[in-house]
Amino acid sequence: MIADFADHWLLYCSIPLVAALIGWVTKIVAVQMLMYPLEFRGIPPWLGWQGVIPRSAPRMATIAVDLMFGKLIDPQDIIARIDIAELTTRLREPLNAGVDYMVREMMMKYQPRLWVNMPEAGRRAIIERAQRDLPQLIADIVVDLRTNLDQVMDLRGMAISALVDDKSLLVEMVRRVGRNELRFIVRSGLIFGTVLGFVQMITWAFTHSSWLMPAFGGFTGLVTDWLALQMIFRPIRPVGIGPLRWQGLFHKRRDEVCTDYGDLIATEILTPARILEAVLNGERADRLASILDHHITEFLDLQTGPAKPLMLMVARESYTALQRDAVTFVLDHVRAAANSGFDRHAIEALDVRSLVIEKTEQLSDDEYEGLLRPAFKQDEWKLVAIGAALGFLVGELQVHVLLT
């Protein structure tokens, strides 16, 4: 055995190096196959591959959103964070400009002769009165939305659709929340592979069995994948003796993960733009229009005051059309505002990030683990099997090199 080692020392030394390479490569492949490709590549339905996460997008999105709204976020909490006074103060300038434009457009459309012949001071007084009463209109609408939030928008459905329709967003969610854990999986392959490689080298010296290398290669790929996945989540609490202690990486990074998760939810999923889109164009958009119609009618009644009976007598159809167009105008103005700086103010006002971070920190260990575990749990056997298969193939190649 010693003589054989002396004659083939280079090949013997290559065994742990190749084993480390097997562990490393299989982990890289496993991580990539976890996330990519986003769509099925190959010949459907079986000959090909789609990333584990994208393929399971509906299931994973449902799990993630159920946790999000079941434990972390109450839609009422989001709306309750809106400070109406602060919001109207911040948006005072664009709101005033919008009212000015709306009054002029509506009057020119429905009462052009009266508006043209009216002195500028009179026109200005009408506009300023509408601008003065606007904050109360906004307050009434927000209060109504708080009361009837479930009737106006389906945040849960919106979040699930966002993750299912954009699989890259779901992949990014796993990547950002578990970036350190995914990096650990890759690096662990080198460490575990090297250790098993030395065992493999000693065993080869005694046996020279042609089945040893592929068997050890498969065993290395399987065991290192399985160990890496276990070490991410277990143990939940630190265990060990003296200074030698270990805790599952994901649990050890809890504070950092909570911050990353809060950033992700606030900037990618529950953004004001997405919420606004769900409210304005979602399945329940007609209910928002009904609420706006009620409040804008009251607002117009307040502006016309004692003149309303006369207006209804002279031009009832025009007044009704004015009410209808006012609702459409407000909706169009909100859409336009959403594309011109509204999002930044709304992010600050809603502060979803702080809410999510605070709630995530309060999760139980099992609930917290649910932020990332669903990405691996159901299909992790496939990742382990892929690691074993790749390890077996590399081991088979290795034995041919050793025996030639």
**Nearest alpha-carbon partner for 328 in 48, 102, 43:** 102
DSSP characters over 161-173: HHHHH-HHHHHHH
- Give percent of the chain above pLDDT 90: 0
CA–CA separation, 330 and 295 (whole Å): 11
Question: Per-residue pLDDT averaged across 336-342, rounded?
Answer: 59
Tens digit of each residue's pLDDT (9 = 90 or more) over 44-66: 777 888 888 888 888 888 888 88
Name the token pair of 71: 């434990």
Closest C-alpha to 261, from 348, 355, 376, 159: 355
pLDDT band at 310 (very low <50, low <70, confident <90, very high): very low
| Count of positions (residues) in the chain | 404
pLDDT score recorded for residue 334: 66
Sign of the alpha-carbon torsion through 220, 223, 225, 227: negative
Locate the domains of the chain by residue range. 2-403
- Per-residue tokens: 52: 């584990």
pLDDT over 60 at 305, yes or no: no
* Total-model pTM: 0.66
Concatenated DSSP letters of 77-116: HHHHT--HHHHHHHTHHHHHHHHHHHHHHHHHHH-HHHHH
Phi-psi region of 341 (alpha: psi -120 to 50; beta: other; left: phi over 0): left
Answer for the pair 22, 386: CB distance below 8 angstroms, yes or no: no
Residue 49 has φ and ψ, to the nearest 5°, of: -155, 145
- For 194-224, how does the pLDDT look when each residue is reduced to its tens digit (9 = 90+)? 877 787 788 777 777 777 778 877 887 787 7
Average pLDDT of the chain?
75
- pLDDT confidence bin for 387, thresholds 50/70/90: confident
**How is residue 270 annotated by DSSP?**
S
pLDDT, residue 313, reads: 41
pLDDT tens-digit series, residues 75-122: 777 777 666 666 666 666 767 777 787 778 777 777 777 778 778 887
C-alpha span between 208 and 58 (Å, rounded)? 50
First and final CA of the chain: distance in angstroms? 18
Joined tokens for residue 139: 């307050």
Taking the C-alpha atoms of residue 263 and residue 268, their distance in angstroms, rounded to an integer, is 8
Instruction: Report the distance separating Cα 152 and Cα 141, nearest Å.
Output: 12
